Amino acid sequence: MAARTLMVQGTGSSVGKSVLVAALLRILRDDGLRVAPFKAQNMALNSFVTPDGHEISRAQAVQAEAAGIAPTVDMNPVLLKPEAERSAQVVVMGKPVGRLSASEYQSYKLQLREVVAKSLERLVQRYDVVIIEGAGSPAEINLNHSDIVNMYVAKLAAAPVILVGDIDRGGVFAHLVGTMELLRDDERARVAALLINKFRGDRSLLEPGLEFLSRRVERPVLGVVPYIRDLRIADEDSVALEDRAAARPDHAGEIDVAVVKLPRLSNYDDLLALERTTATRVRFVETREALADADLVIIPGSKSTIADLEWMREVGLADALLVRAAHARPILGICGGCQMLGQKIEDPAGVESDRKSVDGLGLLGLRTHFGSHKRTAQVTARAWERCFLTAGLSPREVISGYEIHMGMIERIGKQAAPFEVLTRNGRNDADLDGAVSPDGAVVGTMLHGIFDNDGVREATLAWLRARKGLAQAPKSQFSFALSKQREYDRLAATVREHIDLALLRRLVGL
């Protein structure tokens, strides 16, 4: 039997659609249903690699994890990765098809409707319920003629729509009523219920507004979901960094990690496991002064490596990193950050930049060449060269991570490497990853998700504690994998408590 469908749309971006979809999936999964997420098109720099090597938005990978299933490319057939204000890399069915301007993409995307329809159909045939996420607002009247992600998908899936508004931003009643007013009659008919998200305060004070809202738009309010503090679930949207960037209260003996907040920073969920470890304080920084006292500086991934390297030079961060390296103070580069630490970055075909070649920071013996091939792979590896990432790892301990990059690195001379790659996408593929400086203070890796491995994270923190002259902490019982499952459970329990479950089941058709 084909799956039942339900769609979550919002009055705008960042109203909490992705998190609410994850919550609904978890709720229905816990009720014994086979469930899956779907988002036709996503715009995000936080991405993930499926087990078979396809790139999708991190949000849909998180939703799949909440649903208890492996992510597939059908869950997010179209991914846009912004490279500048008016252009993006377009990824279709997990592979890049080109770099298009906003106007070029508007002309191109109608060709993707068949791709969207086929992906949705495959999911519908495999699961009991498919929860669909919209993008931005369905009332973007200037773009509705070429819609492939909001009401077009609702109609395609014959899905009732929950319209979500964010009360934390203010003006939620105007946003909900205004959105309903701007929809066409056939689109408005698809909206089956409203939901208010991120509420803080006494709900009784909200009741008169809810009654007015329900009467005005002639739709029930499914629920009022409270603002969930310190929810540690990987997010696709850089808006989430504003909350995460605030420094946690300082504690004696805490390890201080400064992450360079690149303008085009990507895959910042690489740091989520470190943030959740009580021994660390993770800060996202943009000035050279903010690096001064850090125990470890991390240069994360970037969608525009050359442009972000030039930005670091402009604001003085590059010079600060060179001084830091000269004093053998630890620096870690991940993916684009690893490439920046090398000798040279070459992009002769203009794959990512208009600059054909630039010098790297010169701290690692690596050369990066951008070509037409994009590597997207789930990876297993093991420690190769001893450094702060691997100092406490057994040579037999297998770790996991994933690669997403256009730029391929070449090791210059007898450059040491932190990891030996064992497999890519399940196939044997012996290779060395990244590089380690001769003094071991500067390390680069192309692997995302390394700190999700409890062994790597604990080895790194133990090394940093020893370097700082701190007593070693007792062996941590913290498991990042288990902590994520607890967060999904906490999210689902909160949403379950604050929505009308009987109405939800009727909307789904149960």
Whole-number pLDDT of residue 430: 86
Q: What percent of the chain has pLDDT over 70?
A: 96
Q: Which residue pairs, CB below 8 angstroms and at least 24 apart, start in 118-122?
A: 119/38, 119/40, 119/73, 119/74, 119/75, 119/77, 119/93, 120/38, 120/40, 120/74, 120/153, 120/156, 120/157, 122/74
The yes-or-no verdict on residue 471 having pLDDT over 90 is no
Active site residue 335: yes
What mean pLDDT comes out for the span 159-188? 96
Q: Can you give the pTM of this predicted structure? A: 0.92
188, 191, 197, 200 alpha-carbon torsion, rounded to 10°: 70
How far, in Å, CA of 360 to CA of 435, rounded? 14
Distance from chain centroid for Cα 234: 6
How far, in Å, CA of 126 to CA of 444, rounded? 41
Domains of the chain plus CATH, in order, are 4-232+485-508 (3.40.50.300), 254-469 (3.40.50.880)
Whole-number pLDDT of residue 246: 45
The yes-or-no verdict on residue 84 having pLDDT over 90 is no
Task: Choose the catalytic residue: 335, 369, 387, 405.
Answer: 335
What is residue 16's three-state secondary structure?
Answer: coil
How far, in Å, CA of 116 to CA of 119, rounded? 5
The yes-or-no verdict on residue 356 having pLDDT over 80 is yes
The yes-or-no verdict on residue 244 having pLDDT over 60 is no
Whole-number pLDDT of residue 154: 97
Radius of gyration of the chain (CA): 23
Please, which pLDDT band fits residue 448 given cuts at 50, 70 and 90?
very high
Task: Choose the catalytic residue: 54, 175, 369, 448.
Answer: 448
The yes-or-no verdict on residue 205 having pLDDT over 60 is yes
Output the average pLDDT for the chain.
92
Query: What would the two tokens of residue 156 be?
Result: 């395609």
What mean pLDDT comes out for the span 164-173? 94
Please, which pLDDT band fits residue 247 given cuts at 50, 70 and 90?
very low
- Paired residues of 38 in beta bridges: 132
Estimate the share of the chain in helix, then strand, then coil, as percent rounded to the nearest 5.
35, 30, 35
Whole-number pLDDT of residue 150: 97
Whole-number pLDDT of residue 39: 98
Active site residue 387: no
